Structure 1
Amino acid sequence: MVALRAEGEQVGGPALRYMNRLSDFFFVASRWVNDHGDAEVLWVPGQNR
């Protein structure tokens, strides 16, 4: 979608919102698949692991 916009194509608001929600879904799904999030390291802004 970014490439389309860079080439001057119009991308509608509903399509952008859909892609945003889809990326949220994939993020949450990937955490669930990764041991249901139990082994995840909590990210804290400004700190290193």
Structure 2
Amino acid sequence: GFGNRLKMENPKVWEKVKKNWDQTFSKVPITYNIEVTIKDYGASDSNK
């Protein structure tokens, strides 16, 4: 998860926040960037 990634990428910061990780993580703003490519469209037969 995010904690493991932080521990690997920035161990000094991890050492400062690990004791209160649940509280710290609940306040972290998280932004997702999602790209979707639709390769086909139309109806499908759900009775198969």
For normalisation by structure 1, the TM-score amounts to 0.29
Instruction: Flag the structure with more relative contact order, 1 or 2, with Cα contacts below 8 A and sequence separation at least 6.
Output: 2
More helix by share: 1
Give the TM-score of the pair, scaled to structure 2.
0.30
